A and B are shown apart, each in its own frame.
Chain A
Amino acid sequence: MALSFILPLLIWSIAAYGPWWKVAHQVILSAESSRLQSVYIIGDRLDPTTWGKFTQAIQQDNEEILKARESGQPIPLTARQNKKILRQLHSPAVINGWLTRSQETDDEAIRQVWLKLAAGELKATRRELSDDNIEIIEANAEMLKKSGAVWPTESLLKLLPESSEEVSRPVYLVPPDVVATSFWEGITADRPVSAESSEQGAERKTLLQRYGESWRTIVLGFLLAIIVAVPLGVIAGTFDFFSKLIEPFANFFSYMPAPAFGVVLMAIFGLDLGPKIMLVFLGTLPCAVLTIAKTTRRLDGSLLEAAQTLGANQRQLLLNVVVPGILPNLYNDLRLLFGTAWTWLVIAELLGFKSGLAEVIDTHGRRFQFDIVYPAILLIGLSGFCMDQILGFLSRFFFPWVDQPKQGFMGKISARLMKGMKQKYPGQAEHAASPSSLAP
């Protein structure tokens, strides 16, 4: 069992860490220019050509500023635009401990950093600046000093962009360690992730809160579906008349994809939790009815005959023979159906107000932030898988009389536990092994 997980992980790692990816530039010091159509921010990853154009554009800007200054007609610039040029130093200043993260728009503090850097009072220890940029800082400090307390009205020089070299994997190929870290940060964060990353939404929620929302949707939808499906399925499986009444339509309905009803559900149930639950419900219901009916039909006919011989009426037949008789198989059915219910979750949560894990997957997927998307997908997968394992494990306690193939990791554990239980409470298993204790 472990191998079946290790192999894909291995393939993933080889793909991500292999030597075949080219180098890209990750921006660590940015600049803005009207020559460029995009604003590049710190953390953006650029291919070498774009990076070349980017740096070139800034250099051209600076040359123009200097030329204009020499000719005695400096390029005018508003105080705000000059402030924005100075703000680019914020990130290195934070890394070097000169400013705090929240001082991004504290222009006076940023200005002081420029002046002190030029005067040699500050020394970059953790993030050094290029020689060219040191020169620019000195030149700008000169201008800042000249204009005194007010902001200069002629254009300051722009810092040249700097980058760190990164491996240029395709954006969707996030290496396992990044996903693992992001996953861990996501589930351990007690306050909303990502004042840093660009979390969407007025009310920010942690990954776990969203996870809770997803659980609420799926559990409510699934419960609703089985509350309806179990009685329907059982009578359809027991009585021929109901079988003909219910099953053909359920069969027909199961072919109509539930998401197709999304807009209708929104129109009926509003935008909040309603349509989401109903989508899970609609997706699960027909399949559940059919499966349960089939399971019921598989019940050993001799049990029914025996009961009828003993004089059970239809009600007793249903409640005292059929239901207890199919219980273990029904349990397994529900376990499988719960698995399929998860598949509806993502579509359901995008109806109306987006919620839960699907919102994370959707919004961050759009921004190509796959390091946040993958943990959310993983969480869904893990939940479904663990839930199934746990339910499978529990079934041994609920229905110990049923022969279950003992295999796999959880199987072994449960077998061992069962053994221990039997030793502790001898007789309990035998006692439970008489489900259809008919007392006519």
Chain B
Amino acid sequence: MKRKVLALLLPFLMPLASLSAEPLKIGYSDWPGWVAWEIGIKKGWFKEEGVETEFVWMDYVKSMEAYAAGKLDAVCVTNGDALVTGATGKPSVAILLNDFSNGNDMIVAKPGIDSFKAMKGKTVALEEGFVEHLLLLKGLEMNGMAEGDITIKNTPTNNTPQVFASGEVDAIAAWQPNSGQALKLVPGSKPVFSSKDAPGLIYDGLFCDMASVKSRRPEWLKVVKVWYRIVAYMEDEKNLDEALAILAERVGVKPAEYEPLLEGTKILSPAAALKVWEKADGLGSIYGSTKVVDDFNVKFGVYKEPLDIAAYLDPTLTKEVLAK
């Protein structure tokens, strides 16, 4: 009888016993640079490298909330949003950079609005305080416009295509595949500003819990290693069809629709990544870019005090993996 009770209880006790070897929990969302993780997941490369990971597919902002709540060990975010999450929720440190946005973040305007300047007095739906907001502010700055020239409607990025299709707003700011959907839903609409106009403003990376990086460094190194396997795999045109099938399925579009997105997200090759990790001013370096974003965030009151940027960036893991 006792044994029976124990046997019944065992499944409930198991999670407690295995608590020490919990997998690394990583939140990722629909940005093409992060969807690429799916290749490593589907091909079982994490197991091959000997690291237990659990990738959690979420909406972008929700993944940041989950990270800030301490439910994730790492989260895929842009360098700017890592600062925002750090200032308002929980700090993190980047151990690898996936890509920089090269056009996939865009402001899409409805037919009749042909340039960013023509957006004066119009309304834009975007997720306030996050990466697309930054893009809009950058656009305003580059076009010599003031913050009040455009009215913002706070909208979750995943809902922007529907909001745009409803005709309630004049434009939206979103990343692919959302922005592409918006373009398709509203015939005649076009992008008036995109991250291609400010390359290096938006870097996308894996931002981890600082304590976890310290205590489980060997495991995080393996995660970085898998990422560069994915990069090498994607660089080979032979693998393109298989890769597209995996990526497109994750976000729910057809491979043919996904292929153009690869252009707008510049995955960093090992050499390019090492260059970006060099300390320098300007958007060519992650340090310079993050500094620019930090200034922006303070200027526009996303948070009050400038942050210690160096604490958010840890190039050592990438360098260690790529040095081999």
Hey, which bits of chain A sit against chain B, CB under 8 A? 30, 32, 37-41, 44, 46-47, 49-50, 80, 84, 105, 198-202, 263, 266-267, 270-271, 352-353, 363, 365-368
Contacts and interface: CB of A to CB of B under 8 A. Distances in A.
B185 interface: yes
Contacts of B250: 200, 202
Interface of B, secondary structure class, is: helix
B66 interface: yes
Contacts of B200: none
Contacts of A202: 38, 41-42, 57, 250
A200 B161 contact: no
Contacts of A201: 57
Nearest to B261: A39
A158 to B, nearest CB: 13
Interface in B37-74: 38, 41-42, 56-58, 62, 65-66, 69-71
B282 interface: no
A200 B251 contact: yes
22 contacts: A30-B256, A38-B180, A49-B187, A49-B188, A50-B188, A84-B256, A105-B245, A198-B253, A201-B57, A202-B41, A263-B69, A266-B65, A267-B70, A270-B71, A271-B56, A352-B58, A353-B56, A353-B57, A363-B252, A365-B162, A367-B252, A368-B165
B241 A105 contact: yes
B107 to A, nearest CB: 14
Nearest to A88: B256
Interface of B: 38, 41-42, 56-58, 62, 65-66, 69-71, 158-159, 161-162, 165, 180-181, 183-185, 187-188, 190-191, 237, 240-241, 245, 249-254, 256-257, 259-260
A367 B257 CA distance: 13
B237 A41 contact: no
B190 A39 contact: no
Nearest to B160: A366
Contacts of A198: 249, 252-254
A263 B65 contact: yes
B252 A353 contact: no
Given A200-B250, A201-B57, A267-B69, A366 B162 contact: yes
Nearest to B260: A39
A147 B84 CA distance: 56
Per CB-CB distance, the 6 closest pairs between chain A and chain B, nearest first, are A267-B69, A198-B252, A50-B187, A105-B241, A38-B184, A200-B252
Contacts of B181: 367
B254 A37 contact: no
Contacts of A47: 187
A376 to B, nearest CB: 15
Q: Which of B250, B256, B259 has the most CB of A within 10 A?
A: B256
A47 B162 CA distance: 18
